[in-house]
Amino acid sequence: MLSETKNITWSDFQALSPEEKKPYFSEKGKLFHCLHSQQFDREFIDHIYKLTNVIRSISKSKKGALFLQGLMPHYKAMLYFMQPSTRTYLSFRTACQILGIQTSDVRDASISSEVKGETFEDTIRTFSSYFNFIIMRHPKEGYAEQAAYCLNNSERPIPILNAGSGKDQHPTQAILDIYTLRRSFEHHGGLEGKTILLAGDLLRGRTVRSLSKLISFFPGTKLILSSPEKFKMGDDIIAYLDNKNVDYEISHEFIKHLPSADAIYMTRVQDEHDTESDKSEKSFPEFSLRAEHLSILKEHCAIMHPLPRREELDSAIDNDPRAKYWRQERNGMWARAALMSHITGYDQKIISYWSDLCKQANHTADI
């Protein structure tokens, strides 16, 4: 289906709904570009969850780590990050290292030919000449999609992995967030039926926007969308939740919801999206999780944050067993390694290797 974008103009392509675009980002019915969370379904999420666990387990031994590193040493990835990043950049780079993928990066537009007037499309086409993946973060919405469209209409389409686009999407963060939630509730009945409190800048927080869509695959799960009025969740996400019959509550209060939450997902004010005429507050004290709140939280509550944080998440919470955000950070490299192995088809070799290990150890391969 990749080549079929040649039959549609960019403006007409932009007018399509995410569901209508989905086939153009797949090849032979399988994920090729990873651009937005609407591309995923429960079967995919379950597969990535299992695959992530398998990769983690295999990597614990030297022999297993060397097996993983030997999978794709002939692959190269461009890390094209036009926005500041620590965790997403490092976790993608480390994920590539886990699989033996070589990496290069461009993290500053001032050192690329874009300063000479090169078009975005020509930059992307140049990367496709040298690399097998483009992992990109861009401050403008839709640029990852535009890159995918550009390469679909070239003689060398390669996967585009969206590492964050403007205020809109962060699909790989949503994958690792769902993974973290499921791991957190492994011994508490699973994610189904849980109450998830999303708090902070929900309007511009691309992590919570993408995560909200994946929550719809887990029956009985409720979202509490807690934010200041000016940063309430966007109407497009609300419409999506309505369409998927997700139980949610919109609230401009925070503390009162803490006792009922099975998971709390904190976000900072996304003031990098401010304009000169519209400056945001750096934080909202009434939407901050403090150490003194720990006593009213559920014993199994999972506290998460995509980081970086400010005053909205007290560092005094860090050593509480319910604090999952450092695990969440580490989960990123494993989940992204699973995603890349799935896109390339090497996930089947990984599963077969794990199955053989389990047979040798005389136990089940289920994880």
Residue 353: enclosing H or E segment and its boundaries? Answer: helix 347-361
Q: And the tokens for 108?
A: 């500053």
- Give the Å distances, CA to CA, from 300 to 52, 191, 219, 260, 335: 23, 12, 20, 11, 23
Compute the Cα dihedral for 238, 244, 245, 248 and give only its sign: negative
| C-alpha angle 309-310-316 in degrees, rounded to nearest 5 | 85
Respond yes or no: is residue 137 known to be catalytic: yes
Phi and psi dihedrals of 310, rounded to 5? -125, -135
- Give the Å distances, CA to CA, from 91 to 68, 161, 336: 16, 13, 8
**How far, in Å, CA of 281 to CA of 270, rounded?**
10
Q: Which of 21, 125, 137, 213 is catalytic?
A: 137
Q: Which of 47, 50, 76, 87 is catalytic?
A: 87
Q: Which of 36, 56, 167, 170 is catalytic?
A: 170
Q: Which of 52, 88, 123, 221 is catalytic?
A: 88
Respond yes or no: is residue 74 known to be catalytic: no
Q: Which of 116, 187, 279, 363 is catalytic?
A: 116
Question: Active-site residues: which are they?
Answer: 87-88, 116, 137, 170
